Structure 1
Amino acid sequence: MFNRLLALILSLVILGGLSHVLAQEKPKPFIFTAIPDQDVTRLQKRFGKVAQYLSDTLGVEVKYIPVKSYSDAVEAFKNNKVQLAWFGGLSGVQARSAEPGAKAITQGEEDADFITYFIANTGTGLKPSKDFPHGIEGMTFTFGSKHSTSGRLMPEYFIRKTLGKPPVEVFQRVGFGGDHSKTLDLVQSGKYQIGAINYKVWENEQKAGKVDDSKVQVIWKTPGYPNYNWTIRGDVNNTWGEGFTDKVQQAFLNMRDPELLATFPRKRFIKADNAMYEPILETAREIGILQQ
């Protein structure tokens, strides 16, 4: 009787110890976020699918958490609340500057030569032009987020470069809509006469039937510049094992599901590195968004 009781106790101790070890060995979830450049509901749907794809591919639990603003995405990355993020060119530069060791690992094929559309309410009488539309001076203008590459940084750069003065001296009124979908709404409704919008969002909104050609049109397309990227923290290998950064990069390079890629929308992902975004860094410093 005593021997059986002793054996039972030993079994419970061993099982308890094993459970404790297994609990300790179970890796914590790998968490990512994305800049809120579109309607939050659509982002949740897109990145929920990305989380499932990464979970299946990497063999670890992957979670997506939404953020309310571009700066929130950068702060979450800086404070290790997320280890991976889908940034724009500017927010990516800001995040990597705040977290030494962080790396841009992939970008969409289209992101190497991204463009911004200047859109105008048709009531302005402005027409599409290959050259910078000087007729926008004195009108009302809305950017997207203050931290957006395509919705603020590069449009402001081209305005300053062409007209030789900042937007507040060019336009009657300047606003910041927050995201690209909102920019479309503001210009299409006439609340602002002109706006700067990510060309991919414009194409998506057209496909969704949300662009009324009788009320709004593209009047100018900027020259190309580097933009969106997946950026990962430099310390992830310490938690998820040697080579984990390379595995995450490869997971995006191997993403082939047309439906999943279409939600970005991108044809495919290609390799990226921090050096590609030096022009963004230099421009942000030039117009005072980032300190030297």
Structure 2
Amino acid sequence: MRLLTVLTALLVSSSISLSALAETFSFTAIPDQDESRLQERFGKVAAYLEKELGVKVKYVPVKSYAAAVTAYRNNQVQLAWFGGLSGVQARELVAGSEAIAQGYEDQFFVTYLIANKRSGLSMSDDFPAGIANKTFTFGAKGSTSGRLMPEFYIREHFKKSPEQIFTRVGFSDDHSRTIALVQSGAYELGAVNYKVWEDELAAGIIDPSEVSVIWQTPSYPDYQWSIRGDVDARWGTGFKAKVKQSLLNISDAEILAAFPRQSFVEATNDDYQPIKDTAMAIGLMDAE
């Protein structure tokens, strides 16, 4: 009886109810890499958050960027690790949603254009006009680094759509597959998240004799953690702030290396206005 009294007092003081403790807090992430790597990364995040938040936490894998946005919209998950574009899209669909944290590196993210060595293209500081009339694969259709930003700069340079510039345009669905397709020669060129490239290069997955970086975009804001605005109503006043602080406090070297990020820093919706503006400029989002 005394234990129950103490537990009840703790719950009242922390604004978390017994029913909230029993409810699972769920999160997802855009599938930008191999599924096994994502499971390993976000399984560790789930265990960390469960300990920090004092509630059950579950990682919910999805098959596509669109599925991540849909799960968030439908309240199947309350938190998500989105790319810049998918985050903007998701927050537009759920009133009160906020970007609360981003990787330190996400403040100045870049995309690499990569080329198979048989293309004859090499690294250049200037936009590589020689990419015209070759085959090209983007990442996922909803990817910021794999589609939105590279397409913006390609359109800006040529004043044409990708379909008018390249002999064949594909969508690989994730960055790891983009690298594999260009390395194998299935596509001559591709656009890839620079963090995935550097991670796979360090892991020995990339063969530099077959594929290389030929250009990088100017920097832009990218990945972020976004949270629904109704979490305090379900888990108690201050729960959103507690989730945010838990993410900012991640210091476990294994978790950070799995992203890979050196740390997480604060983010706001306003940080991603440039992504929204770019998406509207090339027709990936409707103007308000």
Q: Tell me the TM-score range normalised by the shorter chain.
A: over 0.9
1:170 to 165, 170, 176: 165
Q: Does 1:129 align with 2:124?
A: yes
Q: CA RMSD in A?
A: 1.0
**1:1-292 matched pairs, under 5 angstroms:** 24=19, 26-292=21-287
CA deviations 1:51-90 (Å, max 9, x no partner) are: 0000011111110010000000000000000000000000
TM-score (normalised: structure 2): 0.93
The SS at the match of 2:22 is: coil
Shift of 1:120: 0.1
1:176-196 C-alpha deviation (Å, 9 max, x unpaired): 000000000110000000000
For 2:93 and 2:52, locate their aligned partners in 1 and report how far apart those are by CA, in whole Å.
29
Amino acid at match of 1:255: I
Greater Rg, structure 1 or structure 2? 1
Alignment check: 8 A CA contact 2:65 2:86 kept: yes
Q: Distance in 2 between the 1:34 and 1:291 partners?
A: 24
8 A contact 1:27–1:240 mirrored in 2: no
**Matched-pair contact (CA < 8 Å) for 1:90–1:153:** yes
- Stretches of structure 2 lacking an aligned partner (at least 5 in a row): 1-16
Indicate conservation of the 8 Å contact 2:21/2:55, yes or no.
no
Aligned residue type for 2:27: F
**Distance in 2 separating the partners of 1:24 and 1:97:** 29
Match of 2:5 in 1: none
**Aligned 8 A contact 2:21 2:54 in 1:** no
Tell me how far apart the structure 2 counterparts of residues 76 and 52 of structure 1 sit (CA, whole Å): 21
2:20/2:235 contact within 8 Å kept: no
Q: How many pairs were matched up? A: 271
Match for residue 8 of structure 2?
Answer: none
Query: Shift in Å at residue 243 of structure 1?
Result: 0.7
Using the aligned pairs only, state the percent identity: 59
Residue 25 of structure 1: how far off its partner (Å) = 5.9
Per the TM alignment, residue 26 of structure 1 is displaced from its structure 2 partner at its CA by 3.9
* Farther off after superposition, 43-52 or 161-170: 161-170
Q: Which runs of 5+ in 1 are unaligned?
A: 1-21
SS for the counterpart of 1:146 is coil
**Where do 4+ consecutive residues of structure 1 move more than 2 Å?**
22-27
Contact between 1:88 and 1:149, CA under 8 Å: does it hold in 2?
Answer: yes
Equivalent residue, structure 2, for 1:14: none
Tell me, in whole angstroms, the C-alpha distance in 1 between the residues paired with 2:235 and 2:207.
48
Cα distance, 1:217–1:154 mapped onto 2, change above 3 Å? same
Bigger Cα displacement from structure 2, 71-80 vs 203-212: 203-212
